[in-house]
Amino acid sequence: MTCIGPCIESTHFRDKKVGYARKLIPGTKKVTHHHRWVYEQHHGPIPEGMVVRHKCDNPPCINIEHLEIGTHQDNMNDMVIRGRARWGENKKRGEENGKAKLTEKEVREIRNLKGKISQSKIAKQFSIHLNTVKQIHQNKTWTHIT
Ligand SMILES: [Zn+2]
């Protein structure tokens, strides 16, 4: 993707995990990401479920020319393509959060086994709690894995 002009990096406090700069929404105590806020100033509210993406792949950049709207999935695809998954918002969830006992591959297997063998058998097979299996089957966890 091509960028118009150089990046403008936010001087605001940066979220260490994702690299995005933070922005306090004026008149509120809510914090958003600076680039999201800039985008909304130009284009209006971001539809639910959509994310503001960086064409320049520079998380703290707030140059409006470098921002575009997309889905979270687009964002993830980009990160994989660019080998920048460590910046991903998915870092907070799933495999990398240190709590998860399952790998993404295993989660997919568990999904595939839905209805084929009982949930308690799956739980035993993967040495996980029955509730974990149920949650995966009900798409309550690991929702970022498709
Ligand atoms: Zn930029």
* pLDDT tens digits for range 84-116: 544 444 444 444 444 457 888 899 999 999 999
Do 73 and 2 share a structural domain? yes
Report which of residues 76 and 62 the model is more confident about: 62
CATH number of the domain where residue 27 is located: 3.90.75.20
Does 85 lie in the same domain as 68? yes
User: Does 105 map to a domain?
Assistant: yes
Shared domain for 68 and 113, answered yes or no, is no
**How much is the pLDDT for 8?**
95
Structure tokens of 62? 């707030």
pLDDT at position 111 is 94
Question: Do 115 and 63 share a structural domain?
Answer: no
Question: What pLDDT is stored for residue 89 in this prediction?
Answer: 43
Domain co-membership, 58 together with 130:
no
- Whether 146 is covered by a domain: the verdict is no
- Structural domain range at position 86: 1-91
Place of tokens 């995966």: 136
For 43-60, the pLDDT digits (tens) are 999 988 889 999 998 999
Q: How far is the CA of 17 from the centre of ligand 1 (A)?
A: 18
**Average pLDDT score over the chain:** 83
Tally of CB atoms within 10 A around 20: 24
Q: How remote is the CA of residue 142 from the centroid of ligand 1, in Å?
A: 30
15 and 69 together in one domain: yes
Instruction: Name residue 120's amino acid.
Output: S
Number of domains in the chain: 2
Q: Please give the distance, rounded to the nearest whole angstrom, from the Cα atom of residue 69 to the centre of ligand 1.
A: 14
Distance 64 CA to ligand 1 centre (A): 8
Return the residue matching tokens 């994989």.
Answer: 80
